[in-house]
Structure 1
Amino acid sequence: MPLVTLLSRTCVTLVAALLAAGPASAAVAAPAPTGAPASGPATPGPAATRWAVQPSGPDGPTGRNYFIYDLAPGATLTDHVGVTNLSDRPLTFQVYGTDAYTTADGAFALLPADRAATDVGSWIRFDRQAWTVAPGRRADIPFRLSVPANATPGDHAGGVIAAIAQARTTADGQQVRVDQRLAARVYLRVNGDVRPAVAVESVSVSYDNPINPAGGGDAVVTYRVRNTGNVRVAGTGTVAVEGPFGWRLARTAPVDLPELLPGGGFTVTERVTGVPPALLLTAEIDLAPTTVDTALPPVRRAASTWAPPWLLLAALAVLAGWLTVRLRRRARAARTAGPVAVPPTTRPVTGTAGGAP
């Protein structure tokens, strides 16, 4: 396969950072292609490529941050996405819908360009995919969202993407094709049985035991949170570290959890400093999950690890050994001394000397 053809199939996704923007997503896009190696850095064009994507209407932007819908199975609606060309030359955009997912680090992300949508992204249809926008102008592009009659209840997330495929020339003259994307988020809730649920799948605790227990050590607590329901959730999480008999040793400040789409998971790692070695440490996770509508019941899970106070135990062992030696020496001295002679006792005799009374 020719190098140019191979490189033309690569794409660079700019969606991750730009989806978190406000109602309009804008970018200066001049990334290098990924995939097949290039022999030199990509050379940008004469002017930076800039454009914006935002929810809109037939007469222009509506002030919405995202596309947010609440529809029944089988429902259909028409909406618009505004694509603004902020460059100094005409730009042709590929406009389409795709699905979202939660990344391993808890970020909202969209499927790469080479993966077909199977959820809400596949329910979005445009009259055509390619749209050319003049410099400094905006196109309010209509699309239809059709919810299948058998769509599962709950939240479905995706995005409406405006992508540009442009040619770039590397330092050694190779022609490459770069796919650059901006998007506006789509949140759709399908009416039906809504089941918010969050689980703490696993908890692990490790302890950096100090030689001197007075200063305390570090306890590292790692736990995995997963959205096991059918609506998106967020919330906060705290970690409490306790010793034997519920002795509270430390507690972290609440940590904001990222928004998790249904099925999404996120791993939290907390380092708690200054924890004394209390023989047995128990870390309790306390989650306060929420949905976009309400707070959910707290979720708790705990795990333990041994934290022996080595210096104290060593001191007790030395003391016990010293006492043992002392007692043995006393016992040995008592055995070697033998029995103690007891002098006889005399009883006084009463009566008259020389005869009977």
Structure 2
Amino acid sequence: MPLIPALDRLSRRVVAVALIAAALTGGLLAASPAASAQADDTDGISGAPSTETSADGRSRFSYQAAPGQQLTDNYIVRNTGTTPKTMKVFATDAYNTEDGSYGLLDTGVVPTDAGTWLTFDGGATQLDIPLDPGASQVVPFTLNVPADAAPGDHAAGIVISVTGAEGQILVDRRVATRVYVRVPGDLQPALTISSIAADYHGELNPLDGKTTITFTVQNTGNVALGANMLAGVNTYLGIGVAAQVRQELSEMLPGSTRTITMTVPGTGQWGYLNPYVMMQPTVDEEALDPGPLPTVSRDTITFAVPWLLLVLLVIVAGVYFFIRLRRARDEKTARDWIAYTEAEARRKAREQAEQRSTISNGS
């Protein structure tokens, strides 16, 4: 009898497990198409300069505009994804990031320069544009250069922002197009090297080390500038001790600062080293003519002590002086031995002479 209730309980458990498994299987099968559909959904946005109807092939907006001037242009916005999206379109100021890239202020940060000069229909500073997948819309805008705009290059960007949730995280996807507004007047192109330092990294071969030169570049003028950079290392009397290294400095916006490191290989351990950097500024082909662009240079001092060579010299000198000392000691020992043997010979000769004299007197 006790076995029947046990079997009954066991059968009920089996049935319960089977029902749970069936429910889970059905739930997974029911959820599978939806999950697949969500996985196939993609978010895509793009924007480009355009005519009144379509993109015109420009990669950026670049204007030469006097203070108080007004310009109009167009921007096309596309939904390249698979779901309907509302595109937020606005303009904001540009800056250089730490790695030198062209950056734009975050969506919630209020611009203060060229980002405030650009408005849309009705003077709006931003638009919300709903677009179905594959749809696009041309957005006209107006650029109003203030009457008191300072001369030089002003950088901004037109941004398309789409905000969406990814799990528990709210993600802001953005694409942007650069905007340059070049205001004529007193143009002052000025790149400066505000600091420089160098470190030497030696190798086993005393003629095969490397020197790293770290320096800070500032654009203290009002014109966006790049530069062709040249780094090298001299030693006594300005003699070069390594091949020069060339590198391109990407565009720096006015007011930006960047720290750069260049490595000069093949630097010998000559003791005194004089690393240097030279920069020849360059300007964008669409920029206003800023006049002459003088070369900028700066140098520093570091030391590369040839420790291995010094150790070898110390060892050689030690061996040399040891041999000299040993030779001098051996020579002294030889002289002392000769003196001793000569003294002994004289002593024996005297003794023999005395013995002969004593024998002669006794006779």
Q: Deviations over 1:164-221 (max 9, x none)?
A: 12234x2xxx4x43321111110111121111111111111111234552x4222111
Cα distance in structure 2, aligned partners of 1:157 and 1:274: 41
Residues 1-357 of structure 1 aligned to structure 2 (within 5 Å): 46-127=40-121, 128=124, 129-168=127-166, 170=167, 174=168, 176-210=169-203, 212-213=205-206, 215-293=207-285, 296-317=293-314, 322=320
With normalisation by structure 1, the TM-score equals 0.73
Aligned residue for 2:149, secondary structure, equals: coil
Give the structure with higher Rg (CA).
2
| Deviation of 1:323 (Å) | 5.8
Are 2:161 and 2:173, in contact at CA under 8 Å, matched by a contact in 1? yes
Structure 2, unaligned runs of 5 or more: 1-36, 337-363
**Alignment partners' CA distance in 1, 2:77 and 2:209:** 55
> How many pairs does the alignment contain?
287
> Separation in 2 of the partners of 1:45 and 1:188?
42
309-318 or 85-94, larger mean C-alpha shift:
309-318
What is the CA distance between 1:149 and its match in structure 2? 1.3
Per-residue CA deviation, residues 215-248 of structure 1 (Å, 9 max, x unaligned), is 4222111112221111111121111111111121
TM-score (norm 2): 0.71
Residue 349 (structure 1) aligns with:
none
TM-superposed deviation, 1:133: 2.5
On the 8 A contact 1:84/1:137 being kept in 2, the answer is: yes
Any conservation in 1 of the 2:245–2:263 contact (CA below 8 Å)? no
Q: What SS does structure 2 have at the residue aligned with 1:257?
A: strand
Q: Is the CA contact 1:52–1:83 (under 8 Å) kept in the aligned structure 2?
A: yes
Q: Tell me, in whole angstroms, the C-alpha distance in 2 between the residues paired with 1:253 and 1:279.
A: 21
* Matched residue SS, 1:139: strand
For 1:326 and 1:312, the matched residues in 2 are separated by 22
Measure, in 1, the Cα distance between the counterparts of 2:132 and 2:268: 67
What secondary structure, in the 3-state scheme, does the structure 1 residue paired with 2:44 have?
strand
In the TM superposition, structure 1's runs of 4+ consecutive aligned residues that sit over 6 Å from their partners are: none
**Alignment partners' CA distance in 2, 1:264 and 1:141:** 31
Larger displacement relative to structure 2 (143-152 or 45-54):
45-54
Cα deviation digits, residues 88-119 of structure 1 (max 9, x gap): 44321111100110011111110111211111
Displacement of 1:296: 2.1
Q: Distance in 2 between matches of 1:189 and 1:114?
A: 26
Superposed CA RMSD in Å reads: 2.8
Contact in 1 for aligned 2:45/2:160 (Cα 8 Å): no
Tell me the alpha carbon deviations over residues 119-138 of structure 1, each in whole angstroms, 9 at most, x when there is no partner.
Answer: 11111112352112233222
| Alpha-carbon distance in structure 2 between the residues aligned to 1:269 and 1:326 | 51
Instruction: Name which structure has the greater RCO, CA cutoff 8 Å, separation 6+.
Output: 1
Q: Calculate percent identity across the aligned residue pairs.
A: 37
Gaps of 5+ in 1: 1-42, 338-357
8 A Cα contact 1:157 1:185, kept in partner: yes
List per-residue Cα deviations over 1:16-41 (Å, max 9, x = no partner): xxxxxxxxxxxxxxxxxxxxxxxxxx
Q: What is the alpha-carbon distance in structure 1 between the residues aligned to residue 299 and residue 209 of structure 2?
A: 19
Q: 1:166 to 1:223 in 2, by over 3 A?
A: same
Kindly indicate which of the two structures has a greater share of residues assigned to helix. Answer: 2
Q: Please state how far the C-alpha of 1:275 moved relative to its aligned partner.
A: 1.4
